[in-house]
Structure 1
Amino acid sequence: MQKLQGMDAVRDRMPLARLAREIGITRGAVAQWDKVPAERIGDVSRVTGIPFEVLRPDLFKAASETAA
């Protein structure tokens, strides 16, 4: 089974309405995201506990990839 990434991982972790409330934006704004916006990665990671490289693998390499 493949590990969830990006918004799929976020949706699996918590309802979008709760995420929106926790980071101070509307649920509608969060629902429009195809990817977590770069300027929101820190907030989303803090609230969900999901690492940056899972939220946006296109921007961040996993630690195991960079340690090689």
Structure 2
Amino acid sequence: MKTLHAYLNSLPKSERSDFIRRCGTSEGYLRKAISTGQSLGESLCINLERESCAAVRCEELRPDVDWDYLRNSNPATQPTQEVTHG
């Protein structure tokens, strides 16, 4: 959350407002989450990383999520579950 806090503080007010809007949240929500150490939803983490051009990483925001699995997954190489009809 330190990186998110620093990133938000580095943006001029108008850019910060645009960034937060593109992430689909509010500044108040993010500030409260930062100050209380609240867990952010996975979708919000992805939005924050995407909109910050990876300056804020999902792994820092939610270290409890296996982001490495998602980053290294390739749908074409994922095991498929065989469906049997019987």
TM-score > 0.5, shorter chain as reference? yes
Looking at structure 2, the residues matched to 32 and 61 of structure 1 have their Cα atoms a distance apart, in angstroms, of 24
Per the normalisation by structure 2, the TM-score is: 0.47
Q: How many residues of Structure 1 are paired with residues of Structure 2 in the alignment?
A: 57
Give percent identity, aligned residues only.
21
Give the unaligned 5+ runs of structure 1. Answer: 1-6, 64-68
The residue matched to 2:49 in structure 1 has which SS? Answer: helix
User: Runs (4+) of structure 1 moved beyond 6 Å?
Assistant: none
| Counterpart Cα distance in 1 of 2:68 and 2:7 | 19
| Higher RCO, 1 vs 2 (CA within 8 Å, ≥6 residues apart) | 1
Residues 17-65 of structure 1 show CA distances to partners (whole Å, capped at 9, x for unaligned) of 71423323221122222232223111011122133222211213668xx
Aligned to 1:41: 45
Q: Answer yes or no: is 1:13 the counterpart of 2:12.
A: no
What is the TM-score normalised by the length of structure 1? 0.56
Aligned CA distance change for structure 1 residues 60 and 12 (closer, same or farther; 3 Å): farther
The structure that has the greater radius of gyration is 2
